[in-house]
Amino acid sequence: MSRWAIPDWLEVEVKARDKACVYCGTQLIEQVPPQGPRKAVATWEHIINDANLVTRENIARCCVACNSSKGTKRLADWLKSSYCKKHGINKDTVAEVVKDSLRANP
């Protein structure tokens, strides 16, 4: 179990599914490269900001930049933010797991 209370089996499953940021599509890396930018480093994300929802539908991986921008904002609200507009992120461009969440939690 991770420090985020994500069971090992779920970590393995989500890592296999989310090779790119579920929001912006940046290919994820596991560690900050020496003297490199950390933007593409994979972070754990609760799509719905509830740490008690530790399911394959709510746990995802995204880049540091998107995770930092989203913070504790509601997904639908964040998708309307200037960050998302600037980076071309919207309900149609996000990964399927995010689209599913938007359909289930409008």
Chain segment 50-92, per-residue pLDDT in tens: 888 999 999 999 999 999 999 999 999 999 999 999 999 999 9
Contacts of 46 (CB under 8 A, 6+ apart): 53, 58, 59
- DSSP assignment, residue 56? T
pLDDT of residue 74: 94
- Cross-strand bridge partners of residue 63: 42
pLDDT, averaged across the chain: 91
Q: Is residue 30's pLDDT more than 90? A: no
Other C-beta atoms within 10 Å of 69: how many?
20
Alpha-carbon distance of 83 to 56, in angstroms, equals 26
